[in-house]
Amino acid sequence: MNKKNFILGILFSLILCNFCVEIDAQEKKKYPDPAPMTAAMTEIWTPQPKIVTPGEPVSAPSDAIVLFDGKDLSAWENDKGEPAPWKVENGVFIAGQGNIRTKQKFENFQLHVEWRIPEDVTGQGQGRGNSGVYLQGRYELQILDSYENETYINGMAASIYKQTPPLVNAMRKPGEWNVYDVIYSAPVFKDDGTYRTPPRVTLLHNGVVVQNNTTILGTTEYIGHPRVAKHGAGPILLQDHPGHVAFRNIWIREL
């Protein structure tokens, strides 16, 4: 080896060694772990929607599929496909013993649901008369006592749960009947399972528009962000909580 090559070799070795030390230092550098997801991270509390006074409900039109007419829950089943166990009495049925869903599955529809928070409801926030109407079994329109009961607004009555708060608060007092009229457009999917057209919903709460062709972002998770997974027709599902929410006069029109 001549003198010139020898010096070049020494210089190259020094540069390589320095590079290795830098890589080693980077590998050993500690970065903070991301904070774990909590329920509060997806809660929105302000501004609280203004309060309006609603009008009166309507009965089923002639072309509706009646899902509950006050007599029995023959159109419904539990999560296992067994007879719906919720108690029917005096023309209404009461939440209890797990979620129930319609036996029939739907795509696009108009849905009418009447529901009532017990007059003697107790608790506060999400623990006060909680239930929910899941569109296609996945997307929850929240049911809650939102009469003088503040909570995060994307979790109050008529919200798309953990997504979009209602435009106004049209809630009736506990013991009085509330009405949801829903117009729902099912999603269309790409081959990769993402939305080509996301689901959309318009909701009238006691005759007042509270969701106006709102885009649904995905599943309505208690913890975490909405998830998107390809699906077909799905049932109407009613959520069980210990709130003893009552239901009556439920009908649907396929669109």
Q: Does 136 bind Mg ion (CB under 5 A)?
A: no
Rounded to whole angstroms, how far apart are CA atoms 224 and 219? 10
Q: Does 130 bind Mg ion (CB under 5 A)?
A: yes
Output the six-digit token pair for 153: 């607004």
Residue 13, φ and ψ in degrees, nearest 5: -65, -40
CB of 44 to Mg ion, least distance (A): 16
CB of 196 to Mg ion, least distance (A): 29
| Cβ nearer to Mg ion, comparing 74 with 97 | 97
The contact mask relative to Mg ion for 195-234 (x = CB under 5 A, - = no) is ----------------------------------------
- For residues 99-129, one letter each, b for 16 or more C-beta atoms within 10 angstroms of the residue's C-beta and e for the rest, the string is bbbbeeebeebbbbbbbbbbeebeeeebbbb
User: Which amino acid belongs to residue 225?
Assistant: H
| Cβ nearer to Mg ion, comparing 42 with 142 | 142
CB of 97 to Mg ion, least distance (A): 16
Task: Please choose, out of 2-10, 67-75, 96-104, 126-134, the segment that lies near Mg ion by the rule CB under 5 A.
Answer: 126-134
| Cβ nearer to Mg ion, comparing 142 with 214 | 142
| Cβ nearer to Mg ion, comparing 5 with 144 | 144
Query: In the complex, which residue's CB is closest to Mg ion?
Result: 132
Q: Does 132 bind Mg ion (CB under 5 A)?
A: yes
SS3 of the chain: the string is: CCHHHHHHHHHHHHHHHHHHHHHHHHHHCCCCCCCCCCHHHHCCCCCCCCECCCCCCCCCCCCCEEEECCCCCCCEEECCCCECCCEEECCEEECCCCCEEECCCECCEEEEEEEECCCCCCCCHHHCCCEEEEECCCEEEEECCCCCCCCCHHHCCCCECCCECCCCECCCCCCCEEEEEEEEECCEECCCCCEEECCEEEEEECCEEEEEEEECCCCCCCCCCCCCCCCCCECCEECCCCCCCEEEEEEEEEC
CB of 208 to Mg ion, least distance (A): 20
CB of 246 to Mg ion, least distance (A): 15
The contact mask relative to Mg ion for 94-113 (x = CB under 5 A, - = no) is --------------------
CB of 71 to Mg ion, least distance (A): 26
The contact mask relative to Mg ion for 139-158 (x = CB under 5 A, - = no) is ---x----------------
The contact mask relative to Mg ion for 162-201 (x = CB under 5 A, - = no) is ----------------------------------------
| Cβ nearer to Mg ion, comparing 43 with 69 | 43
- Chain positions contacting Mg ion, by CB under 5 A: 130, 132, 142, 239
